[in-house]
Structure 1
């Protein structure tokens, strides 16, 4: 019974790793090529190959070591490359203002 529970837990971990890899691959695919150069990151093709291999490994080769290496690549893309691409592309917060900006300018608590 304990092994069955551990097996289903491990299956959920593998599924989570696969979902992260697929999401990172999709974000890499829809970003513009010139945004990678402007953000001073590796090329779009580099990230598509790395993340594509990661998705393929997760689907076809159930080796935990390779899946963990792909997870590291996916996390690097999501926390380093994607925010840089969004910043260069003008994504993220509209207008580039701070979180305390209201519709008519900055809100500073009536000061």
Structure 2
């Protein structure tokens, strides 16, 4: 029978992998759009978003078992902001 610490470790590993996947997906999609799309959508520049999301991926790599740490949480929120606000605006411009 697994003990509580094994279950907790498994849950933390799964959460860490999900956080990493969200951050990597955000970074890859941010790299796909041109700087002109960011200007046309009146959003933060491409370089700024790539830097923010890249630092988020780096933080997730360096601190993999701390998905709910303050730094990882801040970068996860930034990734969600990108996915919820910036990416749809860029995608709308890209399809026109």
TM-score with structure 1 setting the length: 0.78
- Number of residues paired by the alignment? 91
| Structure 2 residue 41 is matched with structure 1 residue 4 | no
Instruction: Report the secondary structure of 2:43's partner residue.
Output: coil
Q: 1:64-83 maps to which residues of 2 (within 5 A)?
A: 64-83=69-88
| Residue aligning to 1:107 | none
What's the RMSD between the two structures over aligned residues?
A: 1.1
Larger radius of gyration, structure 1 or 2?
1
Higher relative contact order (CA 8 A, sep 6+): 2
Q: Which consecutive unaligned segments of at least 5 residues does structure 2 have?
A: none
Residue 38 of structure 2, aligned match among 36, 39, 62: 36
TM-score with structure 2 setting the length: 0.90
Q: Which consecutive unaligned segments of at least 5 residues does structure 1 have?
A: 92-111
